[in-house]
Amino acid sequence: MPRRPLVFTALGLALWGAFVAWSDWSGAEKLKQGGLEGRNGPLALVVTLNFAPEAFHLTRLQQAGRMLGVQGRTVRLADVSAADARALAREYWIGSVRRDVP
Amino acid sequence: MRRRAALTGVLGLIALLAAWQISVPLVGLEPYYYPSPHDVALAFWDLLRKGILPVDIADSLGRYGLGVATGTVLGVAMGLLIGLNRAVDRMLGPLINFLFAIVEVAWIPIFVIWWGYGLKTILVALSYVVFFPVLYNTILGVRMVPQVLVHAVRSLGAGPRQVITEVVLPAALPNIITGFRVGAGFAFRGLVFAEVIAAKTGVGYLIFAGASDHQTDRTIVGMVVMGAMWLLIDTMYLKPFERATVERWGQVTAAEMRE
Amino acid sequence: MTRWQRYSGILPFALILLAWGLAPLLADYPPYILPSLPDLAQRAVEMVSDGSLLDQTLASLQRLALGFAIGNLLAIPLGLAIALNRTASDLLRPALTFLQSIAGIAWVPLAIIWFGIGSGTVIFVIANTIFFATLYSTITGVERIPNILYRAVRCHGGSGLQILTQLVLPGAFVQIILGLRNAMAYGWRALVAAEMIAGTSGLGYMTIEAVQWYQTATVMLGMILIGVLWLVLDRAIFVPIERATIRRWGMIER
């Protein structure tokens, strides 16, 4: 069994694992700051990106919930499940996830 | 000696990049036609920070891996069947040669008609591309297994499955790996084409979307990433495996023969 | 060999044709999934008689010829230069290896920006693909010449030019010819793919256009023709060349 693929794969997995762990942690942090910790059920969110969203991001956000509107860097979503909210918070290009007060 | 060559190589790359950068104001075209290395670097950082590039790379790699794996498994299985059984070879040989002649690129339109745009079409196309090199090389490897070994193992009471797993496959492994490497190369090139026709994410898609969005710098990022991905795949996985099996098994066979 | 053994290869084809012919009677499906054999034949006759088949084929072949010529004319001299000059080789090899991994289709968008949709882009992509393929085989061919032969030629008072014409070119000839055959295979694929994405005429274009109109018969005929044409080009051009040169001079054993 050649060594180089093993070392490379191991390194890759380690880096990826570290990234996943960091994403989980920072996602939980974002939810905490957004007052969404531990909340279930359909949520209404205000998602703020670090930049103006592109088609890629809008598509991704629409997978999580119903898009109510886009203003500058913020997007309002409705009917987002708790799991989807957690998934969104983990994305590193999302700055903050907060409760939407309509 | 090799270090000096490597250093010159790096120098060459830097020189080319510098020449490119300098030529931009000289050529005087807008970035849409002729982006500079600086533009490309900025675009690379932009795509990275916006989370687009990692997803594209992951999607492309995922499709690539699945397609290559499927094509390889099918190619080895069929290769064993055809290589070991003369009757099957005579019956299926012409059909397979005929299918091989119809270039994989030519199959994409009919795949799209049958399975539409999306993952299935891409996977079928990639598997198809990998299948043939793996198949032909497996057949070659299987045919080259010295019959002495097969008879020896059989006389010790091995059943057909054991003959395959303990004699034929190991002996044919160098050829299989070579076929795998060739197929992996074809599949990588085919990946771009397949993504253009049938996907909405991925490095190939990025290359094309960049151009149609008038973001040529993104297109070039895609091309550079593509080249880097292939270099990594080839140097980290394909070459080591090929070197390992060809060296190791070559020696083992010779040693066994001497006994 | 028994007669069964010799002709058993026809069986799969026969079975497929049989299944194809009977399919409309056995199952219910829209005609665009699988045109019936008579429909296919009818479409074939149409395409031949109204000349569209010939037009598209010629258009494709023209581009292939042009791209093939341009790519090889650039690659062979450059390949020779790189293989013979250590500095040039060290300087350029890494960059060229990198570029080779993205040769071909990845350049289509850039080519579209530069040349627009149409023949220019297609020819560029073909030339690009063939350039890198031939470059690689030329360099390999020259590198395979044993060093000792260079010394031998110089011993006999051979000049630089004579080394080139009497040693390098004949020595690398086999590899270059094989490389040309390989390059054409790649070039054919690049032609079809580029026409599908950025062409305005030609077999690739014809085939992918038919998808939009669900004209599966055209798609199938296009597919088959693309395959057959490649076989014809390969066997008709390169086999005679190999036989006349390589095999005659006994340079390789097949």
Residue-wise pLDDT for C28-42, tens only, equals 888 888 888 888 899
- Check residue B187 and give its pLDDT: 93
- Give the one of B94, B102, B208 whose C-beta lies nearest to C109's C-beta: B208
| Whether the predicted pLDDT of C249 surpasses 70 | no
- Check residue B255 and give its pLDDT: 38
Read off the pLDDT of residues C170-180 as tens digits, 9 standing for 90 and up: 888 888 988 99
Number of neighbouring beta carbons within 10 Å of residue B3: 7
Strand boundaries in chain C, DSSP class E: none
| Segment C73-99 mean pLDDT | 89
- Check residue C251 and give its pLDDT: 58
Are B243 and A92 within 8 A, CB to CB?
no
Range ranked top by mean pLDDT from B115-124, C19-28, C141-150? B115-124
**Residue B206 to chain A, least CA–CA distance (Å):** 11
Q: How far apart are CA A81 and CA A84, in angstroms?
A: 5
| Whether the predicted pLDDT of B257 surpasses 90 | no
| Segment B176-204 mean pLDDT | 90
**Residue C249 to chain B, least CA–CA distance (Å):** 27
Are C196 and B109 within 8 A, CB to CB?
yes
Question: What torsion do the CA atoms of B98, B99, B101, B103 make, to the nearest 10 degrees?
Answer: 160
| Contact list, B109 vs chain C (CB under 8 Å) | 196, 207-208, 210-211, 219, 222-223
| Whether the predicted pLDDT of C207 surpasses 80 | yes
Confidence of residue B248 (pLDDT cuts 50, 70, 90): low
Are B50 and A93 within 8 A, CB to CB?
yes
Output phi, psi for C32, to 5 deg: -75, -15
Read off the pLDDT of residues A6-43 as tens digits, 9 standing for 90 and up: 999 999 999 999 999 999 999 999 888 888 777 787 88
From residue B224, give the alpha-carbon distance in Å to each of B143, B194, C32, C107, C150: 41, 18, 40, 11, 39
Q: How far apart are CA C251 and CA C243, in angstroms?
A: 11
Best CA proximity match to B127, nearest among B181, B171, B65: B65
| Contact list, C231 vs chain B (CB under 8 Å) | 101
Read off the pLDDT of residues A43-84 as tens digits, 9 standing for 90 and up: 888 899 999 999 999 999 999 888 998 999 999 998 888 888
| Smallest CA–CA distance from A93 into chain B, residue | B50
- Check residue B228 and give its pLDDT: 94
Helix %, strand %, coil % for chain C, to 5? Answer: 85, 0, 15
A/B Cβ contact: 3+ pairs below 8 Å? yes
- Give the one of A1, A4, A54 whose C-beta lies nearest to B50's C-beta: A54
Are B50 and A2 within 8 A, CB to CB?
no
| Segment B215-241 mean pLDDT | 92
Range ranked top by mean pLDDT from A8-12, B5-9, B153-157, C88-92? A8-12
Among C60-69, C127-136, C165-174, C199-208, where is mean pLDDT lowest? C165-174
Q: Helices C37-49 and C10-26: crossing angle, nearest 10°?
A: 100
Are B244 and A1 within 8 A, CB to CB?
yes
Among B9-18, B160-169, C13-22, where is mean pLDDT lowest? B160-169
| Whether the predicted pLDDT of B50 surpasses 90 | yes
| Contact list, B201 vs chain A (CB under 8 Å) | 56
- Give the one of B91, B109, B197 whose C-beta lies nearest to C8's C-beta: B91
B103: left (phi over 0), alpha (psi -120 to 50) or beta: beta
* Structural element, H or E, at residue A47: strand A43-49
- Check residue B251 and give its pLDDT: 43
Q: How many helices (H) and strands (E) does chain C have?
A: 13, 0
- Residue C30 sits at the chain B interface (C-beta within 8 Å): no
Q: How far apart are CA B242 and CA B257, in angstroms?
A: 22
- Residue C110 sits at the chain B interface (C-beta within 8 Å): yes
Q: Whole-model pTM?
A: 0.88
| Contact list, A20 vs chain B (CB under 8 Å) | none
| Whether the predicted pLDDT of C163 surpasses 80 | no
